[in-house]
Structure 1
Amino acid sequence: MDPRAKLPESEEGTVLFNTDPIVIKDHYEIDYRHSYAQDSPFFAGLARGKLMGSHCQGCGRRYATPRGHCMECGSATTWCELPHEGRVHTYTTCYYGSESFLKETPYTLILVEFTGVDTLFLSRLVGAAPEEVSIGLKVRARFLRNCKFKVTDVYFVSA
């Protein structure tokens, strides 16, 4: 065995809080430069309080999550504004999340369906206890006052 074919190890251990199930302490931090490229109008829309989706120029399909080309027919899409009101298609309550969501845990993720839109939009539902959430619940988009140009700049509340 080549001695260079071994990962270096440190003397650091992992803090173990529980053994069944295993619960550990873990830290993760990174700075990352990323271009939104062709999706930039979606994030610019959030800064203006607008939800932007895609409309297929070939078959007319409308996407809640923007894309440059239609997944059905392959035609190019154009930008379209989505409604701010929709309904919960499905949901889940998250008891663990990334560092960004630790203060909100537990939180509810929803897939929102909009009238006239062919796909769903993933977001958070804020201000409703897990037992108050149901499929079909009417919801309305809200936007952060100070845009961070992230998909979390939009969230939903019960309508």
Structure 2
Amino acid sequence: MIDRNAKLPEDDRGATVFSVDPLIVKEHYEADYYHSYAQDSEFFRALGRGVLLGSECKRCRVRYATPRAHCMRCGGRTEWFQLPPRGRVHTFTTCYFGSEEFLNETPYNLVMVEFDGVDTLFLGRLVGASTEDIYVGMPVRARFRRLQRFRVTDVYFVPE
């Protein structure tokens, strides 16, 4: 049976608006989330040692700047290799809105970093440069949080 008068339940709560242009609203979200890094565990453990790891396919030799257990080209198993600590900005964007964790840090810059001898790019934050100072080809180097959180944000980049 179809009920053409059906409605979602509503209450008297509305949104708290902080800005109209761009629109920024307050929304509370909180949950404990347990997850496993499984085959990517070594990548996150290495960040705590100040090491950035990539994955290399032993069959076709494609080198990935991000962790993956199997090659996206041929399906072969990959092995870890250490990425160089220095790279270059391939492209970038400035984020004016972020998740709850990053909302107080907006605006912030994200960069896709290219490394010599690596076939794909690594996404990370660029700290220490304003948007006007960032350019394609800009030399950057990896830095690591002093206190590890076991998140991809444990590594970030700074201008070289």
- For normalisation by structure 2, the TM-score amounts to 0.91
Aligned to 2:126: 125
| Structure 1 position 31, deviation (Å) | 1.4
Deviation at 1:12, TM superposition (A): 1.3
Q: Number of residue pairs matched?
A: 158
1:90-109 to 2 correspondences below 5 Å:
90-109=91-110
Counterparts in 2 of 1:15-30, with a 5 A limit? 15-17=16-18, 22-30=23-31
Aligned to 2:43: 42
Stretch of structure 1 that moved more, 68-77 or 25-34:
25-34
User: Which residue pairs with 1:54 in the alignment?
Assistant: 55
Query: Counterpart of 1:61 in structure 2: which amino acid?
Result: V
Change (3 A) 1:18 1:99: closer
Q: Distance in 1 between matches of 2:22 and 2:125?
A: 28
Q: Determine the C-alpha separation between the residues in 2 that align with 1:137 and 1:24.
A: 35
| Distance change (3 Å), C-alpha of 1:15 and 1:156 | same
TM-fit CA distance, 1:101? 1.3
RMSD between superposed Cα atoms in Å = 1.9
Alpha carbons of structure 1 residues 62 and 129: separation in structure 2 relative to 1, 3 Å: same
The separation in 2 between residues aligned to 1:54 and 1:128, in whole angstroms, is 29
Partner SS state of residue 101, structure 2: helix
Give the 3 Å change call, closer, same or farther, for CA 138–19 of structure 1 in structure 2: closer
CA distance in 2, matches of 1:154, 1:108: 14
Would you say 1:69 and 2:70 are equivalent positions?
yes
The 1:158/1:14 distance shift into structure 2, 3 A limit, reads same
CA offsets per residue over residues 54-97 of structure 1, 9 Å max, x none? 01010111000111111111111111111110000000011111
Aligned to 1:143: 144
Do the aligned partners of residues 106 and 17 (structure 1) sit closer, same or farther apart at CA in structure 2, a change above 3 Å counting? Answer: closer
Shift of 1:27: 2.1
Query: Structure 2 regions of 5+ residues with no counterpart?
Result: none
Q: Distance in 1 between matches of 2:67 and 2:14?
A: 43
Deviation at 1:8, TM superposition (A): 2.9
For structure 1, the residue ranges without an aligned partner over 5 or more in a row are none
